Amino acid sequence: MSDPELSTLETMDEAAVEAALPTLTQAGLEVLLRRANREYWDNDAPTLSDPLYDRLVERLRKLDPDAAVLGEMGPTPSDGPKLDADEAIRLPPGERLGATVVHKRPMLSLGKCYNEADLLSWADKITGDFVVMPKMDGIACSLRYDEKGALVLAATRGSGTEGEDITVNVMGIADVPTTIKAEHAEGIEVEVRGELYMTLSHFELYKEEHSHPRNLTAGSVKQKDPSKSRAAHLSFFPYDVIGPDLPDERAKFELLKAVGFRVEGFEIAKKEELQATFERFVKDRPGLDYEIDGVVYRASLTSEHARLGETGHHPRYAIAYKFQGVVGHTELLDVLWSVSRNGTITPVAIVEPLELSGAMIGRASLHNVNRFLELGLTRGCKVEMSRRGGVIPQVESVAEEGPGAIPFEVPTACPACKGKVERRKKREGEFLWCADPKNCDQAGLKELEHFAKVIDIQGFGPKIVAQAVDAGLLSSPIDFYRLRQGDLAGLDRLGDKSAKRLIEQVDAHREVPLPTFLKSLGVEHLGRQNGTLLGASFGTLAAIRAATRDDLMAIKGIKDAIADAIVDGLKERAPLIDGLLEHITVIEGEAALPTDVPAADGALSGQSFLFTGALTTCTRNEAQAKVRALGAETPSGVSKTLSYLVVGGDELASGKKSSKIKKAEAQIAKGAPLKIISEADFNTLLAGVS
């Protein structure tokens, strides 16, 4: 056997390491493991997945169980001064952030297994039940509380014997109590160990610039500039408590709950139930709001901990049953370049949906320009997909070139505003940015909000649209029709039911009348009135797109400046129109023309109605049609001349006020004869005049 050159081992991607694994010597394995440790612990930017890292470890352990690198897991030891735990707490937290702290008791890593036979072989050595809990993919952390119950020290696991002081940042995490008081914990020093992590729903806010929640977690707790720290968005999963004399694991978790920690995800199981608990975690894993890479088992009786003891590397009374990497192959359909609100332009792979780890995957972030170029994606190629940590969709490599090997190119103009782009280097790699993000941001968001409002896709207000843009789900109106329920369910304050309703709204608007479609494009001077004129004059969208300036000016009411703006605007938006037509059917001819001119002598003549919120008894269009049939106007906004603001659903009862409600209240305060009524009151009013 022989290894590639050492310099090559330092730069090989995952696919190359995977291919070389069977022939690697001990020296080559050691180089790769030291590289992986450095990337994971020092740089917070691993390039080799956990399953591959574990295989490298197991192969080296078979060749040389005593290899020094097997005991080197953790960050590179600091060359600076070290503080022991008692020295550290004498300094104010703000002064010791980042200092190296020696743990009073080592924080050992866990032994690992990958199958039921090895799990049961380990369990055979233990008496009693077992505690079972998820193996969180985050940052191990020690919290030290003094005899009065005050949090005095928080430190990362680090090398196991020494970590990094992060007290001042951890104090800003809601899941970590700054003081504890409870039976069994008074008058003694208490150490709580657990995992700091970021939920996937919070990570959606930042994933344009970060490839993995763990990396962002590590950067957040070590950030010395409080204004840049994301620690407030972190969570803490406690898994052990040291100090109190407790009989078993159940008592530990009861104590943790009693002193103010959020305790969830653990259970007590018998030996014959262990494999079933693992399989249950595998099944439930896609629906969790955090990343896990395995399941942890620990002897429940603390007397067993004392009896079995520890090695220099791991406790004998606990083990991690790791998930194996799951991969699949599918066709790359397209690469979209998604513009976030801060101007970052992120490549996103759109693939033929495939199932991985129990979830359907249809898209995956390509993270940055470096990753995009490294992959060498070509049109129609076959790609290998995985779910990193069982959660994050990832394009691992190109498995088969596409026909003609036609490469995808890096954009030379911003996909949203068509302006200049810049390449900027950050620690995570090289990123593409819009050169004018402020204007691009406003234009992009307004375009999306305008489209949803005109088409009447309810539920996509500014907050939801902004979240979807930040998550890389929306960058063009076309993307509304590419959304899946699973894409939206991970957004902040959106669960499966809300996501399902939004998708139903999109699906309900795949047939659009021609004038409405024209207005939705956002072309200057092409509003509802001119859209109706064009629809009546030309009949079809194709005829309107083919019309010249002179053709438009032949229509009464359309002058030269308006004709120029419409012709130029439709040409500029040709890619948008073509893309929308792949998902939308435009209703043309007589059927598309509005019949909603207010009746001349209706019972509601002289009055006006504006609707806000989601109506439950009819659609907004139907409600508008009803009042127009009775002679009322339906303006697009709140004004002093508005007669009624109708609030849909239970929005009035909830106490939440939309911008329209606030504007209406302001007009009422100025003396406007405007009334804010519920949907029920509106239906009663209609029943009385119909």
The predicted pLDDT at position 142 comes to 94
* Distance, CA of 654 to CA of 648 (rounded, Å): 11
Spatial neighbors of 90 by CB under 8 A, at least 6 apart, are: none
Q: Is the pLDDT of residue 349 over 70?
A: yes
Residue 318 pLDDT > 90: yes
Element (H or E) spanning 16, and its range?
Answer: helix 14-20
Q: What's residue 4's pLDDT?
A: 55
The residue with greater pLDDT, 185 or 432, is 432
Tokens 């009746």 locate to 599
Is the confidence at residue 598, as pLDDT, over 60?
no
pTM of the model as a whole = 0.50
- List of residues 6+ apart from 486 with CB closer than 8 A: 359, 360, 499
In percent, the amount of the chain with pLDDT more than 90 equals 19
Looking at residue 683, its pLDDT comes to 84
**Distance between CA atoms of residues 343 and 372, nearest Å:** 18
Of the listed ranges 34-43, 250-259, 311-320, the one predicted with least confidence = 34-43
Compute the mean pLDDT over every residue in the chain, rounded to the nearest whole number.
82
Is residue 192's pLDDT more than 90? yes
CA 349/CA 365 separation, integer angstroms: 6
Q: What is the pLDDT of residue 665?
A: 87
**3-state DSSP call for residue 297?**
strand
- Given pLDDT bands bounded at 50, 70 and 90, which one contains residue 582? very high
pLDDT band at 341 (very low <50, low <70, confident <90, very high): low
- Which range has the worst mean pLDDT, 47-51, 186-190, 386-390? 386-390
292-301 pLDDT, tens digit per residue, is: 888 999 999 9
Given a contact cutoff of 8 angstroms between Cβ atoms, the answer to whether 177 and 154 are in contact is no
pLDDT at 408 over 60: yes
424-453 tens-digit pLDDT: 876 567 888 888 876 776 557 778 888 988
Assess whether pLDDT exceeds 60 at residue 2.
no
pLDDT in tens, 499-518: 888 999 999 899 999 988 99
Q: 290-299, 328-337, 626-635: which range is least confident on average?
A: 626-635
- pLDDT at res. 597: 47
Residue 430 to residue 59: CA distance in whole angstroms: 34
Q: Which of 127-136, 407-416, 550-559, 649-658 has the lowest mean pLDDT?
A: 649-658
Q: Does residue 296 or residue 76 have the better pLDDT? A: 296
pLDDT at residue number 374: 85
Angle between helices 560-572 and 574-581 (to 10 degrees): 60
**Is 233 or 3 the better-scoring residue by pLDDT?**
233
pLDDT at 253: 93
CA dihedral 580, 586, 592, 598 (to 10 degrees): -30
Distances, alpha carbon 115 to alpha carbons 112, 295, 323, 340, in Å: 10, 12, 9, 42
Contact 424, 455 (CB under 8 A): no
Q: Give the pLDDT of residue 600.
A: 44
Structure confidence at residue 153 (pLDDT)? 92
- Is the per-residue pLDDT at 229 higher than 50? yes
pLDDT > 60? residue 391: no
Task: Quickly state the pLDDT bin for 111 (edges 50, 70, 90).
Answer: confident
pLDDT tens figures, 638-671: 887 788 999 887 666 666 677 788 888 888 888 8
Region 351-358 average pLDDT: 75
Query: CA separation (Å) from 595 to 155, 470, 534, 609?
Result: 69, 39, 16, 17
Residues carrying an active site annotation: 135
Reported as a pLDDT band with limits 50, 70 and 90, residue 74 is low
The domains of the chain, with CATH numbers, are 6-71 (1.10.287), 82-322 (3.30.470.30), 327-434 (2.40.50.140), 438-507 (1.10.150.20), 511-592 (1.10.150.20), 609-689 (3.40.50.10190)
Task: Show the tokens assigned to 581.
Answer: 């037509």
Greater pLDDT, 54 or 575: 575
